[in-house]
């Protein structure tokens, strides 16, 4: 029986029984596993199946955190589902904005709600360290799969060709981590498979240098990744690389002070017209338990795969997002879950983007309001603020998912409708390769699916597009980056409850458009320089 890649990814973490301790990644060191570690060792790669297993670990690492199937943390000092890559992206991209707020008072978590964080924030440290850990795994995989090593091991030519695609995917996943680091922290070190193995302090690069590295990698991968829609579900292809490159270019003015909007329009046009990804007809199905097979998979370009049976990360990824979003008088069973953790809601300013708080007019506005107040008078009270019911651990036809403690939902990291919105924004910002009539058609296609009123050319403004991105893409880890690009994350141009720490919100300092380099990482690598303002 053929086991799909979706299941390989997660069973590996459960049954391999091996440990990969790249603990020094927390300290910005580029190391390989020690003598006692089997995973990624020379002996491990004697098995031809090992290459796909390591690739599967790279994909699984986007969802899970903590350890590799035993009790040993994979990053020293940062264990458990707390260190889930997806969970940390959600924390940094959503809690810092108008889209989400969390009731919990764990450590320095409340400072993310209020844009008052400091370099000592352990959640920022987790995000920084998790991304570098992921990079180190990719680097070691690339070291172990050179032509020289494969030939020495007697790997046959057919497997070599397959491994060449694996290597391209590993490079994409490494570029994805560098993109997140560049976006959140700015100036960070770059390590690749060509750097020495062992204890050393990698050189911190400027944001422009990281941008150039990511750009170069993604452009080069167009010749080595699988053709669009030809790979196994859950694995990326050439379209994913084009999409990430379009994201990089969309934010180029923030990252390097240069206009790359024509490049955005060109890339997104290629994705929309030539990739064979198609617009899913039903919005809610994109966020349901069977979104890998209900038609949504045709729109989602890069899913972070979840599976209730094959994954045991009870607090990572979508398990965190689902459990933490349930509380008050909500019926967890109606969401397909076994209970709620009374944590995440949204703020009134985000609710006000929708014409109807119950989402009747715009199907994307899915809020639970029974017993919930619109205003958040007390951040620690779950019933202050509307709950968001965008994701559901039930199949599109209403039937039950595999289980109710860990959801089946795949997280839609990249999807086609975002390419529509990127094309429209780039065109509105002056892309020479864009067409305003086409941009308007794309936006209205999105709105028609949502049962929202179509707009005219006069309505298509930057402020409208920022709001529309919120309506279409909320809780998909885009909001912080979007607000920064539109100049509304810090400062006084956009205020929401508890921004700056006051109930009605207040202006915050512009240096907070960049997160601080975590203090613990600077202690471990004294060559790192802190971002201004911290």
3-state class (DSSP) for residue 473: helix
Output the pLDDT for position 228.
Answer: 98
**Which has the higher per-residue pLDDT, 15 or 292?**
292
Helix (H) or strand (E) holding 367: strand 367-368
Residue 231 sits at φ, ψ, to 5 deg, of -90, 170
Q: What is the DSSP letter of 237?
A: -
Single out the residue of 533, 517, 523 nearest to residue 121, CA to CA: 517
Q: Residues 6 or more apart from 427 whose CB is under 8 A from it?
A: 261, 265, 434, 435, 436, 438, 439
Longest dimension (CA), the chain: 66
pLDDT at 232: 96
DSSP category for residue 414: E
Query: By percentage, how much of the chain surpasses pLDDT 90?
Result: 84
- Helix or strand (DSSP H, E) at 465: helix 462-473
- Residue 2 banded pLDDT, cuts 50, 70, 90: very low
The string of DSSP letters for 123-168 reads HHHHHHHHHHHHHHHHHHHHHTTSHHHHHHTT--HHHHHHHHHHHH
Residue 79 token pair = 């264990």
Distances (CA, A) of 240 to 187, 363, 425: 25, 27, 19
Q: What is the pLDDT of residue 115?
A: 98
Q: Tens digits of per-residue pLDDT, 300-353? A: 999 999 999 998 778 889 999 999 999 999 999 999 999 999 999 999 999 999
Distance CA 14, CA 342 (A): 29
| Mean pLDDT value across residues 34-46 | 65
Higher pLDDT, 206 or 28: 206
For the segment 339-378, what is each residue's pLDDT rounded down to a tens digit? 999 999 999 999 999 976 554 589 999 999 999 999 999 9
pLDDT of residue 311: 82
Q: What is the spatial distance between Cα 17 and Cα 405, in angstroms, rounded to a whole number?
A: 23
Type and span of the H or E element at 321: helix 317-324
Tens of pLDDT, residues 492-514: 999 999 999 999 999 999 999 99
The answer, yes or no, to whether residue 104 has pLDDT greater than 80, is: yes
User: Phi and psi at residue 102, in whole multiples of 5°?
Assistant: -120, 145
- For residue 285, give Cα distances in angstroms to 115, 194, 390, 391: 33, 43, 10, 9
What is the band of 16 on the pLDDT scale with cuts at 50, 70, 90?
very low
155-200 per-position pLDDT tens digit: 999 999 999 999 999 999 999 999 999 999 999 999 999 998 877 8
From residue 341, alpha-carbon distances to 93, 327, 366 in Å are: 20, 6, 19
Please report where in the chains the tokens 């969802």 appear, as a residue: 63
Task: Evaluate if residue 133 carries a pLDDT over 80.
Answer: yes
Tens of pLDDT, residues 372-416: 999 999 999 999 999 999 999 999 999 999 999 999 999 999 999
Model confidence over 247-265: pLDDT tens digits?
A: 999 999 999 999 999 999 9
Decide if 124 contacts 516 (C-beta within 8 A): yes
Residue with tokens 């209020």: 114
Report the distance separating Cα 282 and Cα 294, nearest Å.
10
Question: Residues 287, 409: contact at Cβ < 8 Å?
Answer: yes
Distances (CA, A) of 43 to 40, 53, 378: 8, 14, 56
Q: With a cut of 60, say whether residue 82 has pLDDT above it.
A: yes
Distance CA 468, CA 496 (A): 17
CB atoms within 10 A of CB 458: 7
Model confidence band, residue 87 (pLDDT cutoffs 50, 70, 90): very high
> pLDDT tens-digit profile of 446-458?
999 999 999 999 9
DSSP string computed for 77-115: TB-SGGG-HHHHHHHHHHTTSTT-EE----TTTHHHHHT
Residue 168 to residue 205: CA distance in whole angstroms: 23
* pLDDT score recorded for residue 313: 77
| pLDDT number for residue 81 | 58
In three-state secondary structure terms, 365 is coil
Q: Give the CA distances from residue 145 to residues 110, 164, 227, 310, in Å, rounded to whole numbers and listed in that order.
A: 43, 8, 21, 27
Strand partners, 171: none
Task: Return the structure tokens found at 240.
Answer: 């994913």
CB 345 within 8 A of CB 386: yes
Residue 80 clears pLDDT 90, i.e. is over it: no
According to the model, what pLDDT value does residue 74 have? 63
Distance, in Å, from the CA atom of 480 to the CA atom of 127, rounded to the nearest integer, reads 15
The Cα 375–Cα 396 span in angstroms is 32
Task: Give percent of the chain above pLDDT 70.
Answer: 88
For the purposes of burial, counting CB atoms within 10 Å of the CB of 179, is it exposed (0-12), middle (13-18) or buried (19 or more)? Answer: buried
């Amino acid at each position: 029986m053929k086991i799909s890649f979706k299941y390989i990814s997660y069973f590996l973490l459960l049954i391999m029984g091996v440990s990969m301790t790249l603990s020094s990644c927390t300290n910005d060191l580029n190391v390989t596993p020690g003598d006692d570690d089997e995973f990624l060792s020379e002996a491990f790669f004697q098995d031809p199946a090992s290459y796909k297993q390591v690739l599967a670990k790279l994909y699984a690492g986007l969802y899970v955190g903590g350890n590799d199937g035993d009790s040993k943390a994979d990053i020293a000092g940062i264990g458990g589902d707390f260190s889930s890559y997806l969970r940390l992206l959600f924390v940094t991209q959503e809690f810092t904005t108008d889209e989400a707020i969390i009731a919990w008072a764990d450590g320095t978590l409340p400072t993310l709600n209020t844009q008052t964080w400091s370099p000592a924030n352990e959640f920022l440290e987790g995000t920084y360290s998790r991304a570098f850990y992921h990079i180190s795994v990719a680097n070691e995989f690339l070291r172990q799969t050179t032509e020289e090593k494969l030939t020495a091991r007697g790997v046959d030519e057919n497997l070599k060709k397959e491994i060449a695609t694996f290597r391209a995917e590993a490079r994409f996943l490494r570029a994805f981590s560098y993109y997140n680091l560049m976006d959140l922290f700015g100036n960070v070190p770059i390590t690749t498979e060509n750097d020495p193995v062992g204890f050393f302090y990698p050189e911190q690069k400027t944001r422009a240098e990281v941008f150039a590295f990511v750009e170069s990698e993604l452009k080069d991968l167009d010749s080595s990744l699988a053709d669009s829609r030809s790979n196994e579900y859950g694995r990326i292809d050439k379209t994913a690389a084009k999409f990430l490159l379009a994201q990089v270019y969309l934010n180029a003015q923030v990252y390097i002070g240069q206009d790359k909007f024509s490049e955005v329009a060109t890339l997104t046009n290629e994705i929309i017209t030539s990739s064979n990804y198609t617009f899913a007809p039903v919005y809610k199905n994109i966020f349901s338990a069977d979104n890998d097979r209900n038609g949504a998979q045709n729109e989602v370009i890069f899913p972070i795969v979840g599976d209730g049976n094959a994954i045991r990360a009870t607090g990572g990824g979508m398990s965190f997002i689902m459990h933490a979003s349930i509380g008050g008088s909500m019926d967890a069973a109606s969401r397909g879950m076994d209970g709620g953790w009374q944590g995440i809601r949204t703020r009134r300013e985000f609710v006000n983007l929708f014409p109807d708080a119950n989402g009747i007019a715009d199907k994307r506005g899915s809020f639970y309001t029974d017993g919930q107040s619109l205003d958040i008078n007390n951040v620690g009270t779950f019933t202050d603020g509307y709950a968001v019911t965008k994701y559901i651990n039930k199949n599109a036809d209403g039937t039950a998912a595999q289980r109710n403690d860990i959801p089946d939902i795949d997280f839609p990291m990249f999807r086609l409708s975002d390419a529509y919105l990127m094309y429209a924004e780039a065109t509105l910002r002056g892309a020479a390769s864009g067409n305003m009539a086409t941009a308007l058609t794309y936006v209205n296609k999105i709105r028609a699916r949502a049962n929202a009123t179509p707009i005219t050319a006069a309505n298509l403004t930057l402020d409208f597009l920022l709001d529309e991105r919120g309506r279409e893409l909320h809780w998909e880890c885009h909001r912080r980056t979007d607000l920064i690009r539109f100049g509304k994350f810090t400062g006084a141009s956009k205020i929401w409850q508890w921004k700056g720490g006051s109930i009605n919100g207040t202006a915050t300092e512009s240096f907070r458009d960049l997160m601080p380099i975590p203090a613990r990482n600077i202690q471990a690598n004294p060559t790192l320089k802190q971002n201004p303002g911290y």
